[in-house]
Amino acid sequence: MNDYSDLFFTMASIVIFSFLLMQSNQAIFHNDVVQVHHEYEKTAVSIAQSLIDEARRKTFDESLQGNGTVNVPGDFRQNLGAPENMERADFSVFDHYHGYQETIMTDLGAYELDATVTYVSSEPPYVEVTGPTIIKRLEVNVRSIQSDRNVRLRYLKTHY
């Protein structure tokens, strides 16, 4: 053909191909972003679970470390948390993790970790209470400084 129809079809096919290429690039980019966010989230969960695994092996309360008789839960500590200037390696009781904060450096960057221990009710839904009970809840929050991925894990420890 000696008219411009071949040129028109060629231009239309280039436009269609460009549109499809942009869409596929956008999908690939989105998948990469999701994959990176999952890596940040997986690392945050790993950090939080590591602290929970460490804490769950500790004694429930300081009053249970002695050899005497303990009034449960009356003799349990009211003021949760570690003594001043105590290092994490020296924590011997579950509630020493109350108020614990740390910044952890990983290959993906820095993560801020903070932990809170509270007494909770003995019945579901395990709401926070003011006085000692036979159940304590450890809540660990891990925030990635480089990503918007935050993780909050909870663990219930019972006296029994």
Q: Looking at residue 18, what is its pLDDT?
A: 96
Q: What is the pLDDT of residue 54?
A: 97
pLDDT at residue 120, as a whole number? 96
Is there a contact between 27 and 35 (Cβ–Cβ < 8 Å)?
no
How many angstroms separate the first and last alpha carbons of the chain? 90
Q: Looking at residue 1, what is its pLDDT?
A: 52
Contact 82, 91 (CB under 8 A): yes
CA–CA distance, 158 with 160 (Å, rounded to integer): 5
Query: Total structural domains in the chain?
Result: 1
* Interatomic CA distance for residues 113 and 140, integer angstroms: 7
> What per-residue confidence (pLDDT) applies to 149?
77
| The dihedral sign for the CA sequence 60, 65, 67, 69 | negative
- Paired tokens of 36: 């990176």
Q: What pLDDT shows up at residue 160?
A: 80
Looking at this protein, which amino acid is placed at residue 112? E
Confidence at residue 2, expressed as pLDDT on a 0 to 100 scale: 61
Which amino acid is present at 105? M
> Hey, which bits of 41-149 come out as E strands?
101-106, 109-119, 135-144
- Distance, in Å, from the CA atom of 103 to the CA atom of 114, rounded to the nearest integer, reads 9
Mean pLDDT, each 10-residue run in order, the chain (160 residues): 81 95 94 90 96 96 76 85 92 95 94 97 92 95 88 94
Determine the Cα–Cα distance for residues 99 and 120; give it in Å rounded to an integer.
Answer: 17
pTM, full prediction: 0.81
Which domain range does residue 82 map to?
5-158
CB neighbour list of residue 160: distance below 8 Å, 6 or more residues apart: 134
